[in-house]
Amino acid sequence: MPIQTPLSLLSAALLAGVLLASVPATAQPDTLRLSLDQAVALALEHHLGLRRAQLGVQIQEQTLTQERLRFGRTFTTSLSHQANRSLSTSRLEEVAITQSNAQNLGLGLSQDLATGGSLSLDFNNQRSYSNAAYVSINPTYRSDLQLRFSQPLLQGRGRVNRLGQELARQGLARAQVGVEGQRQDLAAQVGLAYWDLVLAQENLQFNQQLLAGAQRLLEYVQVRAEIGTQARSTILQAQVGLAQRQEQIVAAQGARRQAEDQLKSLLGLDQEPARWSAALHLTEGPAVTPFAGDPERGLALALARHPAYRQAQLQQQSLQLQLELARDQTRPALSLTARAGLSGIDSTYQDNLAGIQDNRAWQGGVNLVFPLGQTPAQARLQQRQLEYQQSQLDLEQLRLQLAEQVRNQHRQVGLSRQREEAAGWTERLAEQSVREEEERLKLGLSTVRQVLDAQDDLAQAHLNRLQALLDYTKALIEWHRLTGE
């Protein structure tokens, strides 16, 4: 019977602990099964930054609504009463104490015009009474009907009054593009984290297979050493190999937990402590998908769909509107005003209204304000012109950057695909090498160290293939994010 060394006892204990830790829980009710699409949908629903950006869109919608309501109608009304009592200061009043009172009712309707002008209709009705002897009509009823119109002829005329709406519409479009950009970025981040976790899980499973192989190798050399066909020193080598596999298992478990936590954070599970402890079960595995992207078509799609470029275009359009507004502010202020009205006065309200058409009045005029010398408006116009030129340069620079990114990403996808093919071939050769070394060991033509080295080469080749496949998948995700396909 072989003597168990302290190292072998330690290895057996570590092996038992690792195997117990790696056995999946069969009765875990809070396992969350997720496909990639489900993970993306869950992240889009719970991501705080995206929800904040969506509120920004609603704020911009309210800003646009405010601008549209600037040209709405306004109704005004007023009602007042005034009473006076004082000692008489004139013999014409023929009273010792004068008393008077007045009631006034006013109604008005106004409309701001999209041309920059305004139109208003006002009606005022007043009743007044005084005990002074010189007042010939007592009480007195007065009514006035006034129509007023004003229109700027140079500064503030026409389309410039609707620029606020267009600027608000541009702001809404930028906010919507920003939300779409955040959605694309979040979907890409979830995809990267999802495949990172898939890689970590597959790497853990493969290391568990290697652990089982190292255990079988240890049992094999122990049996050979028992019957004297194998040197006892090979047992120590097999135990060292088993301990190394256990160490790799621990590292793989740590990498898996870290990848799982990263994906959970993107999914928003940290917002609900009860769901954070749920285990993630990913239903999709890595696969090689075909790629037929074209750099020229990819650039055209990027220029049409990339959020940063679209926002830069919208920002340039907003600066163009601001430039138009600044140019309008440099014009002289020339405005046309007109007013026409009817009025009536009598001792009764009915007679007052009956004679209102007998008293007519109208007034018209032109006002001109012409600045002398340099004005702040002219300096503001020059500033807007420079800002617009700067935006043109920024847009062109962004276009060149996008073109470079699209070309580089297209190249990266191709290289990643080639690496995956080469890594797959290397892994198959490494698997064949392990099988051959194990057969040679049985024939006495190889050593335990050579078998362990072949297993190490296989582990590295397998990890390289998984990493190459993950890099290819990530390159595709980045290509789709850039081009919006």
* Domain-wise residue ranges, the chain: 31-63+165-319+387-483, 76-152+333-370
**What's the pLDDT score for residue 455?**
82
Q: Read off φ and ψ for residue 230, nearest 5 degrees.
A: -140, 140
pLDDT at residue 15 is higher than 50: no
**What's the pLDDT score for residue 3?**
34
- 351-364 tens-digit pLDDT: 777 777 778 888 88
pTM: 0.74
The CATH number given to 31-63+165-319+387-483 is: 1.20.1600.10
- 35-83 tens-digit pLDDT: 989 999 999 998 888 899 999 999 999 999 998 888 888 999 999 999 9
Is residue 85 within 8 Å of 99, Cβ to Cβ? yes
d(CA 97, CA 93): 9
Torsion of Cα atoms, 193 then 195 then 196 then 199, to 10°: 160
**What's the pLDDT score for residue 5?**
36
d(CA 117, CA 112): 6
- 376-432 tens-digit pLDDT: 889 999 999 999 999 999 999 999 999 999 999 999 998 988 888 898 899 899 889
pLDDT band at residue 106 under the 50/70/90 scheme: very high
**What's the pLDDT score for residue 139?**
86
- Mean pLDDT value across the chain: 85
Going by their DSSP bridges, the two strands 118-130 and 140-152 should be labelled as antiparallel
> Of 302, 266, 332, 254, whose CA–CA distance to 402 is shortest?
302
pLDDT at residue 29 is higher than 50: no
pLDDT at residue 18 is higher than 80: no
- HSE of 461, CA atoms in CB hemisphere, 13 A: 21
**What's the pLDDT score for residue 285?**
79
pLDDT band at residue 324 under the 50/70/90 scheme: very high
**What are the contacts of 211-215 at 24+ separation with CB within 8 A?**
211/15, 211/18, 211/19, 211/242, 211/245, 211/246, 211/248, 211/249, 213/455, 214/238, 214/241, 214/242, 214/244, 214/245, 214/452, 214/455, 215/15, 215/242
Amino acid at 127: R
Q: What is the pLDDT averaged over residues 457-468?
A: 85
